[in-house]
A = this chain, B = another copy of it.
Amino acid sequence: MQDILFDFISKYVSLNDEEKNAILSLDLFRSLKKGTILLKEGQRSNESYFVLKGCIRTYYIIDGEEKTTAFFTEMDALTPHCVATKTPSQYYVSCLEDTIVTVSNSDMEVEVNTKFPKFETMCRMLSEELLAKQRLDLDEFKTSSPEQRYLNLLQNRPDLIQRVPQHQLASFLGIKPQSLSRLRARLLEKKS
């Protein structure tokens, strides 16, 4: 499990044994049961997550309805908005499956970043990369129809369609569950 983390880190910086041990000594790993809520609307938090196994999602409750907007699976990192801005959270974060994550808090990060500038470099690179990637996601969402978005998801993250409940997928695609059902039926028609 640690290897997954170090493999990921090695994409950005190379760590020596001392540095690896420093990270391990922080005792970051945690196992979470399906359904565990990591963050609620209105709460403050300073915890960031990195998913080693499983899946966590973010969702809002708007007019009493759950609106799922993002899924984080293996090798995905999540720093909730409220952590970056020190404000109460606008959304919930919870485990869709039994999940293993690393949990870090901002105090730890400040400390590690100071001690190992290399680590800060990694965080900067990672954030910049995710920022650019997320921009593409937003652009793709803006420029395509629900049907195209579904087909795209089928291409790029087929695992999600298997492991995530339909109604959560629907709101992730920006539509209602009924529309997703219909859309899928329509696509099956077309194929045949």
Which of A12-20, A21-29, A38-46, A113-121 is found at the contact surface with chain B? Answer: A113-121
Which single member of B84, B91, B142, B172 contacts A172 (CB below 8 Å)?
A: B142
Given A84-B129, A171-B142, A172-B142: A135 and B134 interface contact (C-beta under 8 Å): yes
Q: How distant is A191 from chain B, measured CB to nearest CB, in Å?
A: 23
Chain B residues near A37: list those with CB within 8 A: none
**Interface residue A159 (Cβ < 8 Å from any Cβ of B):** no
B62 touches A136 (CB 8 A): no
Chain B residues near A172: list those with CB within 8 A: 142
Residue of B nearest to A149 (CB): B142
Chain B residues near A124: list those with CB within 8 A: 113, 120, 123-124, 127
Q: How far is the CA of A139 from the CA of B85 in the complex (A)?
A: 17
B134 touches A134 (CB 8 A): yes
**Interface residue A128 (Cβ < 8 Å from any Cβ of B):** yes
Count, chain A residues at interface, CB 8 A: 40
**Interface residue A70 (Cβ < 8 Å from any Cβ of B):** yes
B83 touches A142 (CB 8 A): no
**Interface residue A102 (Cβ < 8 Å from any Cβ of B):** no
Sampled A-B contacts (16; CB under 8 Å): A58-B139, A69-B138, A79-B128, A81-B135, A85-B132, A117-B120, A120-B120, A120-B121, A120-B124, A123-B124, A123-B128, A127-B131, A131-B134, A142-B173, A143-B171, A143-B174
Binding site for B on A (CB under 8 A): 58, 60, 62, 67, 69-70, 79-81, 83-85, 90-91, 113, 117, 120-121, 123-124, 127-139, 141-143, 171-174
